[in-house]
Amino acid sequence: MASIPTGVLGCGTISDRYFDATECFDEYEIVACADIDEELAKAKAEKYDLEPYDPEGLLDSAVEIVVNLTPPSVHAETCEQALDAGKHVYVEKPLALSLAEAQRILDKAKDAGRRVGAAPDTFLGAGLQTCRRVLDEGRIGDPIGATAVYTSSGHESWHPNPDFYYQEGGGPLLDMGPYYVTALVSLLGPVDRVTGSVTRPHDERTITSTPRHGEKISVEVPTHETGVLEFADGTVATLTTSFDVQDSTLPEPTFELYGTEGTLALPDPNHFEGPVRVSTHDSDGFEEVELTHEYTAGRGAGVADLARTIRDGEWSHRTSGNFATHVLEVLTSVRAASEQETHLTTERTPERPEPLPQTFPNESSRPSLD
């Protein structure tokens, strides 16, 4: 399959991980980049030997896929602009700020005959694909429950411009929650019912990173959020995400799946690799499982998944916009359930994504998803 020419819209901190990963795949090739800060786009283009554009120029260019790395507050707007320009779109998480925005993106893509893919794609990595194999083989029996915990003291301690993490579309649930919920839905299938409680202990935060050390920023969203997710298969999961925890004795990550015959210790869903560990009635504590898949590189697997779907009618689109919209519905329902003091039933029930092939045979030196 010929590589699909691809451009990156948004050259901020995360973009380097996409630029670095392009060499890992045959399915697409990043050939251009753009940013509203034209000097930043030029700097990235020079570093990675790309063609620099302003955002409008990128949409007028010959790229077929736009990788949208803009801030969450403009995901819907920029995705729609790319679709209007006839491009396929892969967008960083969250897909949009609301279900209404997400549905608008999906509707426009359908009308335009284009595809939408969305992060996170880490469930396509060796770690979580191995977990899928362990689960499907019945090694821990039937799933019963899961625990997912992400805690930190906040991104203002390391990010040079952390404002958007505390604005609409941010907060720990929409920033880190997608990794955990995407992983769980890829393993267990869709979520049926959600409840939750959230809080915001501070109205402003102080940046401790450079170059804005000491500057105060406002907080618009909850920063400590806990949900209970009831899956269609009967599994009940607890999810806690926080930017308000100074320290903890819990291991990082705390991410486990419990079954009738044992426990599966899941790897950090923010990464593509392992370790994967299993404890059963017959084992003496946890034993590490050999990875069944090869891919452990950085961001880009989801873009390759989209590219493969565009060119291969038999390929199942695992990181689809529909899948990401279900994850967004689950996450936003945690906050909505807290506000309404109730349980909420989800409306979207996507199929569980098919597992990837166990190996990546490829005649070239660059691995693909096949």
- Select from 261, 289, 317 the last residue of a domain: 289
Residue 327's closest CA among 173, 195, 221? 173
- Is residue 94 included in any domain, yes or no? yes
State the pLDDT confidence band at 370, using cuts at 50, 70 and 90.
low
Alpha carbons 152 and 245: distance in angstroms, whole number: 5
DSSP-assigned beta bridge partners for residue 147: 238, 256
Same domain, 97 and 173: no
Q: Are 6 and 63 in contact (CB under 8 A)?
A: yes
In a domain, 57, yes or no: yes
Q: Are 99 and 238 members of one domain?
A: no
How many Cα atoms within 13 Å fall on the side-chain side of residue 278?
A: 23
Q: For the chain, what is the domain count?
A: 2
- One domain, residues 133 and 264: yes
- Same domain? 278 vs 157: yes
> Which two tokens mark 328?
């967004």
Same domain? 112 vs 141: no
With beta carbons less than 8 A apart as the criterion, state whether 222 and 198 touch: yes
Look at residue 346 and tell me if it is in a domain: no
Tell me which residue has tokens 């990128």: 58
Q: Do 153 and 172 share a domain, yes or no?
A: yes
Q: What is the spatial order of strands in the sheet that 51-53 belongs to? A: 51-53, 28-34, 4-9, 65-68, 88-91, 116-118
- Report the SS3 class of residue 240: strand
Does the pLDDT at position 296 exceed 90? no
**13 with 29, same domain?**
yes
- 3-class DSSP state of 366: coil
CA atoms within 13 A on the CB side of 244: 20
Same domain, 67 and 148: no
Q: Which of 238, 123, 92 is nearest to 185 (CA)?
A: 123
Instruction: Confirm whether 323 is domain-assigned.
Output: no
28 in the same domain as 77: yes
Would the pTM count as exceeding 0.85? yes
Among 136-150, 162-176, 222-236, name the one with the lowest average pLDDT: 162-176
Domain CATH for 42: 3.40.50.720
Per-residue model confidence as pLDDT tens digits over 223-262: 999 999 999 999 999 999 999 999 999 988 899 999 999 9
Last residue of a domain, one of 289, 320, 351: 289
Mind giving me the DSSP string for 144-179? Answer: EEEEEEEE-S-GGGT-SSGGGGGSTT-HHHHHTHHH
CB-CB neighbours of 261 under 10 Å: 14
Token pair 């786009």 is at which residue?
A: 41
What pLDDT is attached to residue 15?
95
Q: Is residue 206 part of a domain?
A: yes
- Give the Cα separation of 332 and 344 in Å (integer): 10
**Do 114 and 150 sit in the same domain of this protein?**
no
3-state secondary structure of 62: coil
C-alpha dihedral (246, 249, 252, 254), degrees to nearest 10: -110
Summarised one tens digit per residue, pLDDT across range 189-200 is 999 999 999 999
Domain CATH number, residue 170: 3.30.360.10
User: Which of the residue ranges 138-147, 261-270, 275-284 would you say has the lowest mean pLDDT?
Assistant: 275-284
Which residues partner with 6 through β-bridges? Answer: 30, 65
Does residue 197 fall inside a structural domain? Answer: yes
Last residue of a domain, one of 289, 317, 347: 289
Would residue 334 count as lying in a domain? no
Q: Are 161 and 62 within one domain? A: no
Domain ranges, residue 53: 4-118
Same domain, 187 and 222: yes
